[in-house]
């Protein structure tokens, strides 16, 4: 199949493209690289600042449109798959719909269904917009509500969702927001992760490592990131302008307090607003990553970390395991969306490093079972072929 992947969200399309190509498909990724994260793409659709930057991007897209014809599948990462006003995207979407066989919409990030459901129906116990029955009132949440509710973006999202052939959600949270409206064409497919090839200990070796008293032969000496050193190394990534919205501010405050209480047992590594490659280098070798306070499920960054044997302290609710059909592994240190929960779980983590090897083993096996990019690509392939 010829497949065009438009837009990017945390490396989903770039990774999926690799999986689809390995299955023999011709794939083109056109995106802005997800802003400053600068993920790889075949066609660069990044926008320069200001009105002139918008006009230049619009001209570039219109020049590309004749080449964006004749695809078997065009997949949109979001209804706002370009850094353009929704009014322009209406026209571009209609062109893509007319000149290609199938259009697939991804439900993976911010859109009207996510904002509206979490604000009004509240299918989740907590989210980016609600804690129980109470709505969040911090400015980032209010800004997203203003941006999506009762706007042209809402109209665009609804139009594409009704018109497209399939909708694919990458997280449990997004699935429950779309499925009530589009039961027949909404699918859940796990996020794609490319497993490290050689620098992480194999799960069977980690299982042996986790067995008390086991003596490892020299050929099975693990990569340093698979061990349980003192102090425990904790990594946190801070997104520009989204710290309060994602709960990173609370997680960071809890981590700093635990560090002050146990300076001999913990090391804290912070990454803020840096490209993806630099982010990975800082993260590598950590014991755990703090991420996504208001999430039920790990997203791309913690999943990438888990594939390297780095433990996720964040979203790991029962619904996450249920939608995957996972009845054995429990690698995620689940936290509730409060300072106290993060502080308590993190403190127990650094005070009991004997848990680390088994959680590392489970983390790698979890990603291998459910998120391997070729396994995920095959699931997309089946949806495309329906």
**pLDDT at position 212:** 38
Query: Which tokens in the block code for residue 110?
Result: 């911010």
Residue 201 has pLDDT above 50, yes or no: no
Token pair recorded at residue 367: 């990603």
Question: According to the model, what pLDDT value does residue 314 have?
Answer: 97
List where CATH 3.40.50.2000 sits in the chain.
Answer: 2-192+374-385, 203-370
Distance CA 291, CA 288 (A): 10
Query: Is residue 383 predicted with pLDDT exceeding 90?
Result: yes
Q: Determine the average pLDDT of the residues in 159-171.
A: 98
* pLDDT on residue 211: 41
Q: What is the CATH number of domain 2-192+374-385?
A: 3.40.50.2000
Q: Is the pLDDT of residue 183 over 70?
A: yes
Residues contacting 323, CB < 8 A, separation 6+: 172, 175, 188
- Predicted model pTM: 0.90
More confident residue, 203 or 343: 343
Is the pLDDT confidence value at 36 over 90? no
**In which order are the strands placed within the sheet that holds 288-290?**
266-272, 232-238, 288-290, 311-314, 333-334
- pLDDT of 55 > 90? The answer is yes
Q: Give the residue among 264, 361, 261 at the shortest CA–CA distance from 310.
A: 361
∠ CA 109-110-114, rounded to 5°? 100
Average pLDDT in the chain: 91
Q: What is the mean pLDDT of residues 79-85?
A: 98
Q: pLDDT over 70 for what percent of the chain?
A: 91
Please compute the mean of the pLDDT values over residues 255-262 and round it to a whole number.
97
At residue 203 the predicted structure's pLDDT band, cuts being 50, 70 and 90, is very low
Burial of 256 (C-beta count, 10 Å sphere; 0-12/13-18/19+): middle
CATH topology of domain 203-370: Rossmann fold (3.40.50)
| Least confidently predicted of 126-140, 155-169, 271-285 | 271-285
Residue 331: predicted pLDDT:
98
């Amino acid at each position: 199949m010829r497949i065009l992947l438009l837009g990017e969200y945390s490396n989903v399309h770039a990774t999926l493209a690799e999986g689809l190509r390995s299955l023999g498909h011709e794939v083109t990724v056109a995106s802005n690289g997800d802003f400053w994260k600068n993920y790889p793409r075949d066609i660069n659709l990044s926008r320069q600042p200001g009105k002139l930057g918008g006009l230049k991007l619009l001209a570039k897209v219109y020049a590309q449109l004749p080449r964006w014809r004749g695809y078997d599948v065009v997949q949109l990462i979001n209804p706002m798959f370009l850094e353009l006003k929704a009014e322009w995207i209406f026209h571009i979407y209609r062109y893509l719909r007319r000149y290609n066989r199938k259009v697939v919409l991804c439900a993976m990030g911010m859109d009207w269904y996510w904002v509206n459901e979490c604000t009004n129906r509240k299918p989740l116990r907590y989210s980016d917009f609600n804690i129980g029955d109470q709505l969040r009132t911090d400015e980032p949440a209010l800004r997203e509500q203003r941006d999506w509710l009762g706007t042209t973006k809402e109209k665009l999202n609804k139009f594409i969702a009704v018109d497209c052939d399939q909708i694919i959600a990458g997280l449990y949270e997004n699935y429950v927001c779309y499925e009530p409206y589009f039961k027949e064409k909404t699918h859940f497919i796990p996020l794609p992760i490319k497993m490290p090839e050689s620098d992480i200990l194999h799960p069977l070796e980690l299982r042996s490592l986790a067995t008390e008293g086991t003596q490892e032969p020299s050929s099975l000496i693990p990569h340093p990131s698979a061990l349980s050193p003192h102090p425990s190394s904790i990594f946190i990534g801070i997104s520009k302008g989204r710290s309060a919205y994602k709960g990173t501010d609370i997680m960071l405050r809890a981590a700093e307090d635990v560090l002050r209480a146990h300076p001999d047992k913990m090391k804290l590594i912070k990454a803020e607003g840096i490209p993806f490659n630099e982010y990975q280098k800082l993260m590598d070798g950590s014991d755990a990553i703090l991420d996504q306070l208001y999430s039920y499920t790990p997203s791309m960054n913690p999943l990438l970390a888990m594939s390297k044997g780095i433990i996720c302290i964040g979203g790991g609710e029962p619904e996450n395991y249920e939608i995957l059909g996972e009845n054995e592994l429990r690698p995620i240190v689940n936290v509730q969306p409060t300072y106290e929960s993060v502080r308590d779980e993190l403190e127990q983590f650094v005070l009991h490093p004997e848990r680390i090897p088994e959680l590392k083993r489970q983390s790698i096996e979890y990603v291998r079972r459910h998120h391997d990019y070729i396994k995920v690509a095959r699931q997309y392939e089946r949806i495309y072929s329906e």
